[in-house]
Structure 1
């Protein structure tokens, strides 16, 4: 009898299947109410007393082996099923990924960079926390100069000589200090001014300023460069330059582009004139060149600067400049097509 039980133990250990129905049939055959184990337990009464201990141990060994075998085979099947559920059908198309959108400021900035890169301008960058020399003094704005009042400045309280830059002209100063002419660079970046926040102005905004220094550079070169830019950027070829004043350029001018009067929006944007101011420009003041270590008798140059935010408002008909910094997903998602 004991040998017969051991034969069953060997069969149990050899049994293997990945079919849940076969495993269930195996379980019933050994562990069911009418299974093999039930028969052995019933036969226990007829076993001689001297063999009962060994008989009981072998029967329990068969029971444990059968139970362990059933559990192991079922766990193997469940593990495979779990893996399949986790990864699914790998031949099916993947779930679509939600694409983000470029910010309108980035879109316009990249367009400006691309336009000027075609005519040899590189990109230069500098710190947003600047010192007085690079932000004011080197640009022909010495201390107590009345033109400093044109730019309400955020100063760092712990050091009155340190401030948040009010324009990216400070980057041009740093570039002239570290590079020899010819220089042809644009400086995009964020600037700060202590102004009231409204639909048309903000305490921080974005500028891109350009600088060209070489021998024999004239105002005609400046006008031709700006003519090229406005045609590429806006599709408008008519520009005009109005005399103006900037401490770091002389002569200086405001640049207007003829926007037209085709729609009601055009009338509102241009105040009924058809002309729209887009930037300031001028010939670099000799004092600025000298402050940056460039001989003004040998070299001349021009500079220009424009607000990226203002151009973004124009191109995309955005009614409020605050929308550019509020990070409203409903607003930003409209620019997905502009990637």
Structure 2
């Protein structure tokens, strides 16, 4: 028998088993596996030399090498199981959760009160069959005033302290003072019937105080169809008031004036603080003013190409910020724009 290596299968096994037993980590054992059983291992070199042996010697030596490989693989598997178990136990000890440790509380955030109110309003009106429309916050004078029956020089324009980006013509650019321009855009975009609400931000040159901010939020509604009456407007406002505030809440109309509606009215709702019984907040009347409304003025229909002899409609609008203040008992609108998270955490 001719030796193919200076090391016999038995010596290869003895050496490998000693090194396997000495391995202390699974990573070290993986490296050892490659070294003693890989393509460049002493065992592989011995197998490659079998071709040089006589047939009988080749068979005997091959069996011995296969037996050596099997013993080494068995030892590696057993040791790997031991090391993996030991490492798992050590990891469990290191990562054990200390139930006595005090963990600081993390507060979950929530939507701003105005956003919550806007979402709720949209849901209520969509449930009543309305669509939701939006428009640009930077508008032209025509959309913000002229198309809404505010011709140049109209005294009612003085009620709207306007931020002009440029001034002097119908195409002058300004920051919209109400969401009514979206009504014009909705009517321009399609034919009646129209049942739509328009929420959004508005801008006026107001000095911030307890009831005014230069940036505020409104929602307006527009209905255009055949045979629409003031009674439909009153019924719609009643239905909205009950859907938003709950059963027992009603609305009422009081005569007023707006250039874009005729007749025009202010609408009040049952006081949310005393539920109509009368309190200091509502001046003992049982009612709180919410917004304005009225039948769409014929001149507004003419501005968008509608025939006022065929179509009629109503519009209404109110401040979302004011609604939030009423609902949550906030007496200073500036709190809604406060960066102090302690204000928002109250709600």
TM over 0.5: yes
Superposed, 1:105-144 pairs within 5 Å as: 105-144=114-153
| Secondary structure, aligned partner of 2:207 | coil
Distance 1:84 1:185, change over 3 A: farther
- 1:147 match: 156
Deviation of 1:80 after TM superposition, in Å, equals 7.8
- Shifted more, 109-118 versus 280-289: the winner is 109-118
Aligned residue for 1:244? Answer: 256
**Residue in 1 that maps onto 2:23:** 17
Looking at structure 2, the residues matched to 198 and 18 of structure 1 have their Cα atoms a distance apart, in angstroms, of: 73
User: Which of residues 252, 261, 270 is equivalent to 1:258?
Assistant: 270
- The change in CA–CA distance for 1:86 and 1:286 in structure 2 (over 3 A counts) is farther
- Output the CA distance in 1 between the equivalents of 2:274 and 2:195: 37
Say if 1:123 and 1:214 are closer, same or farther in 2 by CA, change over 3 A. Answer: same
> What is the CA–CA distance in structure 1 between the aligned matches of 2:90 and 2:223, rounded to whole Å?
66
Pairing 1:306-317 to 2, within 5 Å after superposition: 306-317=318-329
Partners of 2:91 and 2:335 lie apart in 1 by: 47
What residue number does 1:299 align with? 311
Question: Relative contact order, CA 8 A, sep 6+: which one is greater?
Answer: 1
Are the structure 2 counterparts of residues 290 and 99 from structure 1 closer, same or farther at C-alpha, using a change threshold of 3 Å? same
Task: Report the Cα offset of residue 226 of structure 1.
Answer: 0.4
Contact 1:261/1:272, CA 8 A, preserved across alignment: no
Q: 2: CA distance between counterparts of 1:16 and 1:159?
A: 92
Q: RMSD value over aligned CA atoms?
A: 3.5
Question: How many pairs were matched up?
Answer: 275
Shift of 1:107: 1.8
Residue 233 of structure 2: aligned partner: 222
- 8 Å CA contact 1:251, 1:283 repeated in 2: yes
| Structure 1: runs of 5 or more not aligned | 24-72, 90-94
Q: CA deviation at 1:84?
A: 6.9
Within 5 Å, give how 1:317-332 maps onto structure 2: 317-332=329-344
Cα distance change on mapping 1:220 and 1:86 into 2, 3 Å: farther
* Partner of residue 218 from structure 2, selected from 189, 207, 224: 207
In the alignment, the residues of structure 1 paired with residue 278 and residue 228 of structure 2 have an alpha-carbon distance, to the nearest angstrom, of: 35
**1:27-58 per-position Cα deviation (integer Å, ceiling 9, x unaligned):** xxxxxxxxxxxxxxxxxxxxxxxxxxxxxxxx
- Counterpart secondary structure, 2:292: strand
| Secondary structure at the counterpart of residue 232 of structure 1 | helix
Question: How far did residue 188 of structure 1 move?
Answer: 0.5
1:277 to 289, 302, 310: 289
TM norm structure 2: 0.69
Tell me the residue number matched to 1:54: none
Could you tell me how far 1:240 is from its partner in structure 2?
Answer: 2.1
- For residues 105-143 of structure 1, the C-alpha deviation after alignment (integer angstroms, 9 at most, x for no partner) is 112112211221122111000111111111111101111
- Equivalence for 1:195: 206
1:272 Cα deviation after fit: 2.8
In the TM superposition, what whole-angstrom CA distance separates every residue of 1:219-248 from its partner, at most 9, and x where no partner exists? 110000001111222234443211111010
Secondary structure in 2 matching 1:205? strand
Cα 1:178–1:274, aligned 2, differ >3 Å: closer, same or farther? same
Gaps of 5+ in 2: 1-6, 30-79, 98-102
Q: Distance in 2 between matches of 1:210 and 1:262?
A: 27
* Counterpart in the other structure of 1:164: 175
Structure 1 residue 271: Cα displacement: 2.3
Q: Report SS of the residue matched to 1:213.
A: strand
Moved more, 136-145 or 6-15: 6-15
